[in-house]
Chains A and B, each alone.
Chain A
């Protein structure tokens, strides 16, 4: 029963290790925290400002709210009320929903059917088709603005919701087919063949097997498309023209900047209204979104 001196040494080693670890880790913590704060500060400033009285907003910086004496009276909801009713943000918010929901559902439906056909149906030219679609992924949509706008003008469609729904469906299609085909193509072959042997039609295999199993990919594409359409300015600007009745939040916000760039209380509240929905969607579905990013970009 000899006390082994070694018994203590691992413990003291871990202590030494810990001190050393702390010392070497300190710069890491410093850099990470600094960057995280730096990245958050601009948005935090906007959020705080959007609740401040218009006159104080123009006189002092938003960070002064943290200096004593603390005065809760400087915060109010008036900016939001102003921008929602007076500046048409309320209607624009509704318009953004009307534009974004169908412009997300439509490409999902169309791209999923196409991805299924490309992955599990045999027909001539399907490889070539897919290569063309991959190529279209990077075409700048600026390339298409003038001809599509002219077609819309001839058809009398510019300034309508249908015009933007269809345009977003077209522009989102290459990414949708690409992401979904890659995913649907990796589903187990046995499963789909077994269903076919049992006499299930393609539509049945599609709705009962493929769609339920592809939920992660569909969700990630949905987040992509939703963020892209909600945040879009270019498509709305070009195809909706000056029609204020159908303008989404991005367009109204841009006009606020243009017309009255110094009305900070309207700008800050307006910007935050435009950010609420995408931020909620983003946080709720962040997992899928990240997975979708990875599926489309890192694979292979």
Chain B
């Protein structure tokens, strides 16, 4: 009985996977057959749109229209029935929980971006000189593959707290106690809990920064560094005067990518503390307004604020892309 239901589950899983994956490819083949029946002139004009159509459809349905809709809802009440002007935005910028979320987000942005980029850069420069470079890089890069939820469980264990006198099972408190201090409630103590959460994100992102920066460091021509050495520059001077200026564009790209990611992050906060004890960030506030309080107007306003924060990054991205196209 149990056996057969398991087999049915497995079969329906395979069926779902085949259907979902094959469906899209079948769609393109069917469209192509249809287009081939048209007269040649018409065909070459329609074909690009046939190739573009599914992409445009999902982009419109899942990104463009919903974004416009969210902006509209943000000016309406909790159930989107009446217009309320800027009320939701006034709430977002005056409510004390929201202000804490903004403060935390600034903290996240500065610390995660600053530390993971500079640490990534230091590792990228140092790892270039050791023989076990691939292994060291793989170990530091590995957390990239771990989900925020998985990482949260890993770190809950690192931060685990037992009252004083009881043996600590969390690594960090075991070290603290071994050094002769009282154990710390890393996630409940309001002076450290935000930093405890931020540390997780730094752990996850440093490898990403390291990989990109490392390839940029390797791209610096060797003779430039040799010349500087012959002129008597020491390692620190080479680092500040040559390495950093020569890879500055990569540093900017890595920083902006991490900034965008940090602005959107909610999983770590949601799983670790639920946003309690002053640990909320903008994105986790949004989920709270949406699900816990069912206030779609406020939730949307918070999402729009997120978008506004990302726009400068979007503009520089498009500019950079256009320059790149012009150089092609």
Interface residues of A (CB under 8 A from B): 25, 28-29, 31-33, 35-36, 39-43, 45-46, 49, 57-63, 91, 94, 97-98, 101-103, 105-106, 109-111, 113-114, 116-118, 121-123, 126, 129, 131, 133-148, 161-162, 165-167, 169-171, 173-174, 177, 185, 201-203, 227, 230-234, 237, 250, 253-254, 257-258, 261, 264, 267-268, 270-271, 274-275, 278-279, 281-283, 286, 290, 293-294, 297-300
CA distance A159 to B122 in the complex (A): 45
- Give B84 Cβ to nearest chain A Cβ, in Å: 16
Any A CB within 8 A of the CB of B238: no
Tell whether A46 pairs with B154 under 8 Å between CB atoms, given A123-B49, A138-B317: yes
In the complex, number of A-B residue pairs with CB atoms less than 8 Å apart? 321
Q: Are B158 and A45 in contact (CB under 8 A)?
A: yes
* Closest partner residue, chain A, to B263 (CB atom): A140
A134-B63 Cα distance, complex, nearest whole Å: 13
Contacting pair B167 A43 (CB below 8 A): no
Which residues of B are found within 8 Å of A234, using beta-carbon distances? 266-267, 287
Q: Which 7 A-B pairs have the closest CB atoms?
A: A170-B62, A102-B20, A231-B147, A144-B66, A114-B55, A282-B145, A300-B324
Quick one: given A28-B130, A117-B48, are A139 and B59 in contact (CB under 8 Å)? no
Across the interface, which residues of B come within 8 angstroms of A237, CB to CB? Answer: 287
Is the beta-carbon distance between A46 and B157 smaller than 8 angstroms? yes
B142: which A residues are within 8 A, CB to CB? 39-40, 43, 279, 282
9 contacts between A and B (CB under 8 A): A36-B139, A42-B203, A43-B142, A113-B51, A142-B264, A147-B66, A254-B270, A278-B145, A298-B212
A123 and B211 contact, CB distance less than 8 A: no
Return chain B residues, CB-CB under 8 Å to A166. Answer: 58, 61-62
Interface residues of B in 157-203 (CB under 8 A from A): 157-158, 160, 167-171, 174, 203
Q: Assuming A46-B153, A146-B296, is B212 touching A101 (CB within 8 A)? A: no
User: Is the CB–CB distance between B47 and A202 below 8 Å?
Assistant: yes
Taken together as a complex, chains A and B put the C-alpha atoms of A281 and B254 apart, in Å, by 23
**Contact in complex: B260, A138 (CB < 8 Å):** yes
Chain B residues with CB under 8 A of A202: 47, 51
Q: Is the CB of B320 within 8 A of A105?
A: no
Tell me, in angstroms, the Cα distance from A253 to B160 when the chains sit together: 18
Find the B residue at minimum CB distance from A251: B149
- Number of contact residues on B: which range applies? 35 or more
Give chain A nearest CB distance to B4 CB in angstroms. 16
Which residues on A sit within 8 Å (CB–CB) of B216? 298
Contact A170 B143 (CB under 8 A): no
B277 at interface, CB cutoff 8 A: no
Closest CB-CB distance, A204 to chain B, in whole Å?
10
> Judging by beta carbons under 8 Å apart, are A294 and B215 in contact?
yes
Q: A58-B169, A113-B51 are in contact. Are A275 and B150 (CB under 8 A)?
A: yes
| A-chain residues with CB within 8 Å of residue B254 when the two chains form the complex | 297
- B156 near A267: Cβ-Cβ < 8 Å: yes
* Nearest chain A CB to B203 CB, angstrom units: 7
B206 proximal to A (CB < 8 A): yes
Query: Please, how many angstroms separate the alpha-carbon atoms of A36 and B134 in the complex?
Result: 11
Which residues on the A side are within 8 Å of B136 (C-beta)?
32-33, 35-36
Residues from chain B with Cβ under 8 Å of A298 in the complex: 212, 215-216, 249-250, 253
Question: Are B16 and A161 touching (Cβ within 8 A)?
Answer: yes
- CB-based contact A109/B24 at 8 Å: yes
- Tell me the B residues contacting A by CB distance below 8 Å: 9-10, 13, 16-17, 19-21, 23-25, 28, 32, 36, 45, 47-49, 51-52, 54-56, 58-59, 61-67, 69-70, 73, 119, 122-123, 126-127, 129-130, 135-136, 138-150, 152-158, 160, 167-171, 174, 203, 206-208, 211-212, 215-216, 249-250, 253-254, 257, 260, 263-264, 266-267, 270-271, 274, 283, 286-287, 290, 296, 299-300, 302-304, 306-307, 310, 313-314, 317-318, 320-324, 327-328
Nearest A residue to B208 via CB reads A293
Query: Given contacts A233-B149, A271-B154, is CB(A143)–CB(B170) below 8 Å?
Result: no
A39 touches B140 (CB 8 A): yes
A279 in contact with B145 (CB, 8 Å) = yes
Chain A contacts of B20 at CB under 8 A? Answer: 98, 101-103, 105-106, 161-162, 165
Alpha-carbon distance A233/B152, docked complex (angstroms)? 12
Q: Is the CB of B17 within 8 A of A146?
A: no
**20 further A-B pairs in the complex, CB-CB below 8 A; given A31-B126, A32-B130, A250-B149:** A28-B130, A32-B123, A32-B136, A60-B169, A98-B17, A110-B54, A116-B51, A123-B48, A129-B56, A140-B260, A143-B70, A146-B73, A162-B20, A166-B58, A231-B150, A233-B149, A271-B153, A282-B144, A283-B138, A294-B215
Give the chain A neighbours of B64 by CB distance below 8 A: 136
Q: Is the CB of B52 within 8 A of A117?
A: yes
- A144-B145 contact, Cβ under 8 Å, with A58-B169, A61-B167: no
B318: chain A residues at CB < 8 Å are 131, 134-135
| Residues in chain A near residue B260, CB distance under 8 A | 138, 140
User: Provided the pairs A61-B169, A142-B306, A147-B66 are in contact, do residues A102 and B16 lie with their beta carbons within 8 angstroms?
Assistant: yes
Report yes or no: B212 in contact with A144, Cβ–Cβ below 8 A: no
Residues in B whose Cβ lies below 8 Å from that of A36: 135-136, 139-140
